Amino acid sequence: MIVRRGRRAAAGAAAVATVAVLAAACGSSNSTNASATTAAGPAATSSASAAASSSGVVPLVVYSAQGYDSKVTAAFSKATGIPVKLDDDSTGPLLTKIAAERNNPQWGLLWVDGDTAFAALDKQGQLLDYAPPITLNAPGEALVPADHSYIPVSTTVMAALIYNAAKVTAVPSSYQDLLSAPYKGKVGMNDPSQSGPTYPFIAGLMNQLGGTTGGVQAGETYFKQLKANGLQVFPTNGDTLHALETGQIDYGLIQSSAATGEVATKPANASFQPKIAYLPKSTLLPGVIGIDKAAPAAEQAEAKKFVQYVLSPAGQQVMQTGDPTGDSLYWPVVPGLAAAPSLPAFPTDYQKIDPYFWGPLEGQINTFFDTTIK
């Protein structure tokens, strides 16, 4: 069963004022389903709830912005008998709810793309430290925080550069190339205040340009130059892709999963031939799970089982098939699991940014982008 009202008392206005900045900073993901739906259907939910009541099991409340979340939660409930209440929404609204619920949290587990929001929640003391008994591959291990306050379960990268090869022949080899004449007025990207994956891209580019000392200033200068060269900003991945399809732009900087899905679902024709390039130092954008430190002990135990299921072969199989032209197009962080056939080899030239440095700057940088670049 998926609900928007939690099982604990709602937080008051003071809590909203205290932590709403977290939600304002983080924007939204590329999830398009902003309504609550049922993971296993009404009949299954009723049966699961009855079983839970008789056994003392509590529902696991999952806040998620993943395109495959309803299928994963349904499969988890079927495999374990643990009932799940899924609130499926985009990242921004979910973080707004968590901020509003600060004093009386109603969630048990959060699952969205990007680790900067989780670093902020960790600094506020809201996450339960947990290290699942599962070995990750090298990119996955690079994403694990030192205190194990959240768990990476997949990864994409930001950004993939998708372009229309039917209209252009120039393919950039660096971000500096995008500032030159062949790209004037032809480049588009997402708005970080609305698109969850976009702030990590901006932070990653700033990190690449100047690190943690001069990166913010160097990045602001770069984006001002990119705007002067005709950068166009659209709300989310889907809007940027629509602009590419309709000829408003010829190059788009978007999440790798969205770019791969576009190539897979839009057959090339005389006017539209989408292709993908990866510029140096693509930023890892993990799919991340965090467990509510204030949840009841029984629910925390269930959340740990959910993490283990998601990282298991069975859970990964549901993730990789649940949204085949969208969020399923990720690179696994579990050894021995292959990515979807439509994905290229994992980029070798990637970087992992420090979410504990860049996370607290999200509001400041998004405000700069909204007031100066949009």
Q: Which domains does the chain have, with CATH numbers?
A: 13-155+286-346 (3.40.190.10), 158-283+366-373 (3.40.190.10)
pLDDT, position 13: 32
| Torsion angle of C-alpha atoms 110, 113, 119, 122, degrees rounded to 10 | 10
- Helix, strand or coil, per DSSP, at residue 111: strand
pLDDT class of 248 with cuts at 50, 70, 90 = very high
Alpha carbons 203 and 9: distance in angstroms, whole number: 36
| Rounded CA separation 62/48 (Å) | 16
Q: What value does the mean pLDDT of the chain take? A: 87
**pLDDT 10s digits, 259-316:** 999 999 988 899 999 999 999 999 999 999 999 999 999 999 999 999 999 999 999 9
Q: What is the pLDDT of residues 16-25, one digit of tens each?
A: 333 334 444 4
pLDDT, tens digit, 9 for 90 and up, residues 341-355: 989 888 888 899 999
- Measure the CA dihedral 342/238/324/259, to 10°: 10
Q: pLDDT digits over 119-150, tens only?
A: 999 999 999 999 999 999 999 999 999 999 99
CA dihedral of residues 96, 98, 104, 109 (deg, nearest 10): 160
Residue 194's alpha-carbon distances to 24, 28, 103, 333, 357, in angstroms, are: 9, 5, 26, 27, 21
| Residue 73 dihedral angles phi and psi, to the nearest 5° | -65, -35
